[in-house]
Amino acid sequence: MRVLLFALAALTVVGCQSNSPLPAYEMLVTEISAGAEPSIVVLRESVLATEDLAARLKRLEELELQAMELVEDEPLKLGSIGSAILDTYYASLTGHLVMQRFYEHVESDAAQMHGRWLQRILSAVENGNDGTTLAPFVAMTAVEAKMYALAKDLEPVGSLYQFNEHNPFGLLLQTRGTDGPIQRVIFQLAGTQALIGRRATANDGGFTPLMMMGELARSGDTAAQASVGGFLAAQDRLNDAIGWLHAASRSGNLAANSMLARVYWRKAQTAESEERKRAAMDNVLENYLHAVALGSAEAMYALGVLYINEDFGEVNVNSAVPLMQQAGERGHSDALLYLAHLYYAGETVPRDLDQAEGYFVRSAVLDNAQARLSYARYLIQEAERAGDPRTMVWLEEMAKQDEARAMVLLGNLYARGIQADQSARRALRWFKNAIKAAPQDPEIVNEIAWTLAVTDLEDLREERYALRIMTSMMSADSEARTRPEYLDTWAAALAANGNFDAAVEKQALALSAALANDRDDVIEVLEEHMDLFKSGRAVTEGVP
């Protein structure tokens, strides 16, 4: 929390220093009356420096809320409200937007002047950023953020407050276009941040962003109500969370519906009776369906998963795939990946490799890391398929980010000659890079050690290296030493190096672990390997 308060204070100081000495806001308004058009950023910083900022922002938000209620349906009532907004803060996006709409309906040339100011303010809101967490847009208030969406012909459908090291007090706004998916835009709320900073200073650090969010929630702010609900849910105070989230959902906040569905799902899992469980699941369904109706791809995906898992009965399973497909059409990459797995496994739908591959690729194109890894594994399993030529590029991009799983797959692809010319040298390089990136990851070490210990490709075999990395990992990881598959690899590496007595010893541990954990799926293979080790032979097989 100290980091957040420091960031708030720093934000105020930097804003003032960047325009030092900052002109008085009243002087700028006088210049505007004379025809000047000062910088929007300077206007914003000047009003943030006014002594009456708290009262000014309260007045501004009250007027903006009135304007937002009228802007779409009653533009002729906007004139007086718009004038009052601009009297309070002349660089208000809301003020110029509603004045433009008002004058357009009374056919006045003033509409052009307000339109010009509106475009300047929109540019200042964006300021070269893209509205993401690391590059948020800047709005004076939460209402102005929503009016920004309306100015872009987008409908605000949900909102939450956020505060983190990148954005001391921001707004996540969900918007919907005419046909497109729900979009998320992050705003930095300059006015609210400045107020928090002032109150924190006045209270010697005793006022926090969380306290501000609580005040806003009690005043009826729907984004704050949803945020408080999410905060309480994270603390497992589910009944309290439901109250706040219901309040937010009644105002049409999509974010609240999605969270309500998840909270009711958690209540269903701990329900003391079947009746209470059914009631909770009815609420899950109601809130997800509401979110689906608003176009939420996330809700389509989540409800589709529940349908597939028969949480709403076997009769609804067939509704899952159309929901997933709708989510995929809206760019939900996890839904596309789920569909890929369904078509590949032939679950819920007939097995169809063409469909599976199409969904894998569509998800991978959306930069879904898991989809890119899964698609590479799919191509290894279905080596006869041509595959997408971008596969190696996707994996190499991930490898540059030290993603060890991508390196393992690159090694396997080069070892098999899939999507690239076969090359044991390149395969080894990628395997060893993966170990450097994740030397104690048991799954990665196990897979590479197994391949290098048992492969029938002489140029790829590295028995001593396989034993070294496996021994290092197993010696350091007590949990791994209880897993029969890891013990099996350790034994195979020992046998590959000619140490059959030690291999038999480790394989006995593997069999004991499998029996103790009812791992009937591996016992037969473990026994086959034990017979090899007892007869002085190593395991040999093709590259996985």
Give pLDDT tens digits for 443-491: 999 999 999 999 999 999 999 999 999 999 999 999 999 999 999 999 9
CA dihedral 128, 132, 137, 140 (to 10 degrees): -170
Residue at 153 is within a domain: yes
Q: Which two tokens stand for residue 269?
A: 């899992």
pLDDT of residue 20: 56
CB 85 within 8 A of CB 71: no
pLDDT of residue 45: 95
User: What is the count of structural domains for the chain?
Assistant: 2
Residue at 108 is within a domain: yes
Domain boundary among 171, 187, 219: 219
Give pLDDT tens digits for 349-377: 999 999 999 999 999 999 999 999 999 99
Residue at 199 is within a domain: yes
Residue at 328 is within a domain: no
pLDDT of residue 17: 41
- Chain Cα centroid distance, residue 190: 24
Measured distance CA(154)–CA(183) in Å, rounded: 9
346 contacts: CB under 8 Å, gap ≥ 6 = 352
pLDDT of residue 22: 84
Measured distance CA(230)–CA(255) in Å, rounded: 10
pLDDT of residue 542: 82
- Chain Cα centroid distance, residue 461: 40
Residue at 131 is within a domain: yes
- Structural domain harbouring 207: 2-219
Domain boundary among 189, 219, 249: 219
Residue at 481 is within a domain: yes
Strand partners, 185: 173
Measured distance CA(328)–CA(155) in Å, rounded: 21
Distances (CA, A) of 265 to 40, 302, 303, 374: 46, 11, 11, 28
Residue 289: closest CA among 315, 326, 314 = 326
The pTM for the full model equals 0.83
CB 107 within 8 A of CB 163: no
Residue 65: closest CA among 196, 178, 223 = 223
Measured distance CA(174)–CA(186) in Å, rounded: 9
Distances (CA, A) of 428 to 27, 409, 446, 452: 70, 11, 15, 9
| CA quadruple 338, 343, 345, 350: dihedral sign | positive
> Any long-range contacts for 471-480 (C-beta under 8 Å, 24+ apart)?
472/439, 472/440, 473/439, 473/440, 473/442, 473/445, 473/446, 476/440, 477/440, 477/442, 479/442, 480/442, 480/446
pLDDT of residue 208: 86
Query: What is the three-class DSSP state of 462?
Result: coil
Average pLDDT by stretches of 10, the chain with 544 residues? 37 42 91 93 95 94 93 88 96 95 88 95 95 94 95 93 86 88 93 91 84 92 95 94 95 92 95 94 95 92 95 90 95 97 95 97 97 97 93 97 97 96 96 97 97 95 97 96 96 97 97 93 95 97 78
Residue 544, number of CB atoms within 10 A of its CB: 15
Residue at 17 is within a domain: yes
Residue 213: closest CA among 160, 255, 165 = 160
Domain boundary among 186, 219, 252: 219
Residue 339: closest CA among 303, 323, 330 = 323
Beta pairing class for 137-139 and 182-189: parallel
Residue at 536 is within a domain: yes
